[in-house]
Amino acid sequence: MANTYKNSKTDFTSTDNTTIYTCPSNSRAIIQNILVSDDSGSGDSITITLVSGANTFSLFKTKALTGNQTLELITKPIILEENEIIKAQATTADRLHMVLSLLELSRSDQNG
């Protein structure tokens, strides 16, 4: 079993619903931190969801940020199971950045 620390970094250049991280089919993941930053000075909002199979769960629904603000969105870890996906969507393009920090726990045998 291999443990790997990872960051997923996103610059929201559009308002598309964007896949931030997909947990591999042979792993679990512990999301340790979600930072969102507004660099426009105008403020914006973000929606973050967890997709599990055919179900979508809202983690943050139109979470508002003021201009030039950075928010730490979670205070406790979130566990992702195999194939679960974190998605996010900015209300306005070219204002927000996100850094998602996690620990990925692979169940693959590293020796073959």
Band of residue 112 on the pLDDT scale cut at 50, 70, 90: very low
State how far the Cα of 4 lies from the Cα of 89, in Å rounded to an integer: 26
User: What is the DSSP code string of 99-111?
Assistant: EEEEEEEE-S-TT
pLDDT in tens, 20-59: 999 999 999 999 999 999 999 999 999 999 999 999 999 9
Band of residue 108 on the pLDDT scale cut at 50, 70, 90: confident
Q: What is the DSSP letter of 68?
A: T
- Comparing 110 with 85, the larger pLDDT belongs to 85
Residue ranges and CATH numbers for the domains of the chain are 2-105 (2.60.120.340)
Asked if residues 92 and 21 have their Cβ atoms less than 8 Å apart, the reply is: no
Is the whole-model pTM more than 0.85?
A: yes
Give the residue among 72, 63, 69, 50 at the shortest CA–CA distance from 90: 63
